Amino acid sequence: MSRADSSPAHQTQRRPRSRWEAPVVGWILLSLPVITVAVVGLAVFVIGAPRSYRGARVWGGPSVGQTSLSARLSAVERLYDAERALVAVPVDVEAHAAGRLLGKFHGTTDGAGFLEIQLPLVASAPADLQLRVQLRGERLAQGRVALTAERWLAGVRRRGGWIAGAGGGLRIRVHPGRGVFAVPFGDPVSIEVTTPEGPAQGARLSVRAEGTSQPAGHRSLTTDARGLAELMLTPREHVVALEIEASFAEQRARWYSTLPVVPGALHARREGKQLWIEAPVPKEAAFYSIVSERGRFAGGRVELSEDGRGGALAKVDWPPSIEAPAWAVVASEPDLNTVAAVGWPIDATAPTRTFDAREELWLDGLPQAYARSLERPRHARLLAGAFAALALALAVVLFTGRVRAADRALATHLSETAEGEVERFRVRQSVLALVTAALCIALGFVLVGLVSLARPG
């Protein structure tokens, strides 16, 4: 008898391998969690990582009813709480209303990311005016601008005015010539002397100032036909007091009070065709706006240079075609919204109060840019979640097929020796294996989900 014939009759031939037992299935099951973690990490930490976004802020005066818009623009790039100025970039500004283009402006930001906008309109700006600010086609800011002159004037701070003394036959009033004083800049102070009958022409005044470098001592003055006398005063300290003794015929009067001094204020005055902007200490730059009660006409950011006396100075050309009265508002902040911001009267022929008009925020494109910047991380996370879900489904299918194939192979083997226990074993092992595999896979992909949430924003 041959050797092959001596084999037991019940010996079975080698079972062909199932497609679920192929090596490629095993490699997929082993590498799928690693691939999923890598894809999710790429989506969340690289593609969906927070990136900087760019936007613009625009400040200005009243817009409604204006035939030309004057505003200040600041272009910045922001990441978290840090901002970087967009220097020397081209900016386009368009004004629309009711689907109609009213005007366009093109300019380039300066070394600090600021740009002065002068935008003529073909018609008066309505209340539904829309402004659009772009940088090479990228939107920096867009929205409705509807600031009325009444609302703008309501926010204007005015300082100065006549300071009256005690009543009597001879009355003395004092008015800082330009509303307030700033250390150490000289400005006039007006003194008025009146009687019940009218101005006290020829009244003799003895003036003594405290906390000033000019006048340094007593000064004698005489009132003119309007009962007025003027004195140049240069504060040395932030508390300045003035004492005035007046005599007119047989009448006598005394006036004593402090004068308003704005600590840290910049100073502005016109010299010929130039506006001089001065700072009491060395300073890199300043902001200014030229305004009147009708609106804002011009402005800008100027770099200051040392004046040789411990302060800083800048000179800018005075814009033509600006009618009096006008004020030059100067400050260290672009919106001019500080206590130290002063609107100095220019070319005033009489004592005038200040006109501290701040720049109103027309548009702020940074919140819009931030909202747009969140779309990419959100989409990346959604795609990463979809990939993880599909990977989970694929892993469950592969595990299920592989477990069932193993159960069938084991059941076939056992059927040759223990036929009565095969069905019970198959059911018990299949359910246990499937549940165990599903739980393990689910735990793994929950971990992947937690990793995807590790990146903020």
What is the tens place of the pLDDT at every residue in 27-56? 777 777 777 777 777 777 777 777 889 999
Q: What mean pLDDT comes out for the span 312-337?
A: 92
Mean pLDDT along residues 145-166: 93
- Per DSSP, 356 falls in state B
Q: What is the pLDDT of residue 216?
A: 84
Mean pLDDT, range 92-99, rounded to an integer: 95
Residue 12 lies in a domain: no
Q: Which distant-in-sequence residues (6+ apart) come within 8 Å of 236 by Cβ?
A: 183, 184, 211, 212, 213
Does residue 246 have a pLDDT over 90? yes
pLDDT digits (tens, 9 = 90+) for 193-206: 999 999 999 999 99
Give a yes or no: residue 358 inside a domain: no
Q: Judge whether 34 lies within some domain.
A: yes
Can you say whether the dihedral through the CA atoms of 191, 196, 199, 202 is positive or negative?
negative
Domains of the chain: total: 4
The C-alpha torsion from 393 through 399 and 404 to 405, rounded to 10°, is 120
pLDDT band at residue 77 using 50, 70 and 90 as cut-offs: very high
Give tens-digit pLDDT for 396-409: 777 777 667 766 66
Please indicate, yes or no, if residue 355 is contained in any of the structural domains: no
Coil/strand/helix, residue 258: strand
Look over the chain and give the mean of its residue pLDDT values, rounded to a whole number. 85
CA distance 430 to 407: 7
Mean pLDDT of 100-117: 96
For 194, other C-beta atoms within 10 Å of its C-beta total: 20
Range(s) of the domain holding residue 329: 267-349
Domain boundary among 191, 226, 259: 259
In a domain, 339, yes or no: yes
Strands (E), 218-325: 219-222, 228-235, 240-248, 251-259, 267-271, 274-279, 285-292, 295-303, 305-306, 312-317
- Of residues 167 and 271, the one with the higher pLDDT is 271
Q: How far is the CA of 362 from the CAs of 133, 255, 291, in angstroms?
A: 12, 46, 17
φ, ψ dihedrals at 435, nearest 5°: -65, -45
Kindly state the percentage of the chain with pLDDT values over 90: 62
Query: Above 90 in pLDDT, residue 441?
Result: no
pTM above 0.85, yes or no: no
Question: At 6, is the pLDDT very low, low, confident or very high (cuts 50, 70, 90)?
Answer: very low
Whole-number pLDDT of residue 125: 94
Digit-coded pLDDT (tens) for 372-387? 888 877 777 777 777 7
Burial of 376 (0-12, 13-18, 19+ CB in 10 A): middle
- Looking at 209, 236, 259, the residue that finishes a domain is 259
* Residue 126 confidence (pLDDT): 95
356 within domain boundaries: no
Interval 275-304 mean pLDDT: 95
The domain that holds 309 is classified in CATH as 2.60.40
Residue 135: predicted pLDDT: 94
